[in-house]
Amino acid sequence: MTVARPIKLAILGGGPSAFYVASRLLQLLPTSHAHGEKLRVHIYDRLWAPHGLVRYGVAPDHPEVKNCTHKFDKAAEDARFRFFGNINVSNTPSAIPHAVNVNLELLYPHYSHILMASGCTMPKLHPAIPPSLICSPALSLVHWYTQHPTLPPPPPLEKLTHVTLIGHGNVSLDIARILLTEPSHLAQYDVPTHVLDKLVQSNIKHVSIVGRRGPLEASFTAKELREMMNLPTAYIVPIDTDLLAKPEGRSRELTRQQTRTLDLFKKGSKNAPGSTRKSWSIDFFRSPTGISPSPSPSSSRAHLSLAHTTLDTQSRSLPTGQTSSLSTDLVITSLGYHASPTDAWYDPALGHIRNVQGRVVDAAGEVMRNVYASGWAASGARGVLASTMMNAYAVADTILMDRFPGEGGRGLALAAGPVVPPTSVGVSNAGARELLNADPDLDLDGMPGEVEDAVKMGRVTQYGDWKRIDEEEVRRGQKLGKERERMGWEEAQKFIFERT
């Protein structure tokens, strides 16, 4: 007779990767399975609302991307699942003042497994143009218009006429689109009222989007570029046709994405140049080398110094020796993200948590038994929701194979779909460094006393609380003719705990 072995998993981070892992495990080990009754999945998130980037990173005019939350809601209906929002599990206090801080080590006696799914929460900064009054990371702007609990200040849109974005990725295009779209159009989406009010005050006339490589190397998608081309309120400054020709001597054929990108640039925007009050441009082969405020006390303009670049045979950017400058009111850097250096097992050289195929390893290369990482926390900030889901499923399968090596763990994973990762060469979970509680009599519903106390004090949101908040946000939004009207922490806390 098989002796049931517990999997009591604490997931740190409440974004898509966390919920996909939870969903996969709950699906593969139903309560009818021999080990199903001893499965528990607890998600801890420093943010009070779940879903991470889906709530706080997706552009508000892309509501279809948020449909994955229906699957997350389904997973949360399982009685073996719990969500604890507003809890920062780290040995470093959170920058969010109302978050409850709980040291990681306090979880060890209460869980048999830990999964790091804390994402990439820190922006990569450009060494030549550090943050200042005239230079801001894109993440600050995204967090402003999504009402992130860190509450970054709004940009002074009423004082700006020209904004420069550094980086040719989707986030740059998202920000440019938000800044160039009429607030009356955005008002139907999940844009907080205070953000709409600020956008109404905007005096922005032009947005420059600068990158160090060419159109074939741009990382934004054709879909995002097409949306920019179809903006009813702005036109694109025509691009030099020489830049849109296939480079001579290129041996490889263009990808479908590259072909679409070039075709869109050649076609140009829906609006003819000069036909609208607002405009945008995309500058290739330019790399920032410095920024300085205008010497004139009557001007708020900054001067952005740019090195002209070219590509070597490996498509790496190299300076040509030529330079130019750009006069602008605000520079926004959108260069990607890395995991937080405060995350356990973070490797600064990698920019994410050290792991081999989802198994976390320490600085000496030793496997941390039953400690895993998934999503951007494990691989860095790359990929879309579909790739995040596949990675999360693979890590969930690894957890099962490690826990039940002789009891069909691989068979369980294979039965649910072909996403099982190959077995790691030279890296095994067996006999690794032990941190967690492997006791088969582990209290499946217990948790650290600090968490229990915070729950009793009304400082923690659980998933049932979130669903009530979710419904209320949607209800408030419908009254205003929009997708939802968001709550902040203080309002959400009052709504939940003063009505309980």
Binding site per annotation, positions for NADP(+)? 168-171, 212-213, 224
- Residues 209, 280 contacting (CB under 8 angstroms): yes
- Residues 111, 369 contacting (CB under 8 angstroms): no
Annotated binding site for FAD: 17, 53, 89
- Residues 102, 87 contacting (CB under 8 angstroms): yes
3-state SS of the chain is CCCCCCEEEEEECCCHHHHHHHHHHHHHCCCCCCCHHHEEEEEEECCCCCCCHHHHCCCCCCHHHHHHHHHHHHHHCCCCEEEEECEEECCCCCCCCCCEEECHHHHHHHCCEEEECCCCCEECCCCCCCCECCEEEHHHHHHHHCCCCCCCCCCCHHHCCEEEEECCCHHHHHHHHHHHCCHHHHCCCCCCHHHHHHHHCCCCCEEEEECCCCCCCCCCCHHHHHHHHCCCCEEECCCCHHHHCCCCCCCCCCCHHHHHHHHHHHHCCCCCCCCCCEEEEEECCEEEEEEEECCCCCCCCEEEEEEEEEECCCCCEEEEEEEEEEEECEEEECCCEECCCCCCCEECCCCEECEECCEEECCCCCEEEEEEECCHHHHCCCCCHHHHHHHHHHHHHHHHHHHCCCCCHHHHHHHHCCCCCCCCCCCCCCCCECCCCCCCCCCCCCCCHHHHHHHHCCCCECHHHHHHHHHHHHHHHHHCCCCCCCCCHHHHHHHHHCCC
Annotated binding site: 17, 53, 89, 168-171, 212-213, 224
Instruction: Encode 357-375: b = buried (16+ Cβ within 10 Å), e = exposed.
Output: bbbbbeeeeebbbbbbbbb
What whole-number distance in Å separates Cα of residue 492 and Cα of residue 433? 41
| Complete edge-to-edge strand list for the sheet that includes strand 39-45 | 81-85, 39-45, 7-12, 113-116, 367-373, 359-361, 355-356
What whole-number distance in Å separates Cα of residue 315 and Cα of residue 245? 16
362 Cβ contact list (under 8 Å, min separation 6): 345, 354, 368, 433
Tokens of 353: 């948590």
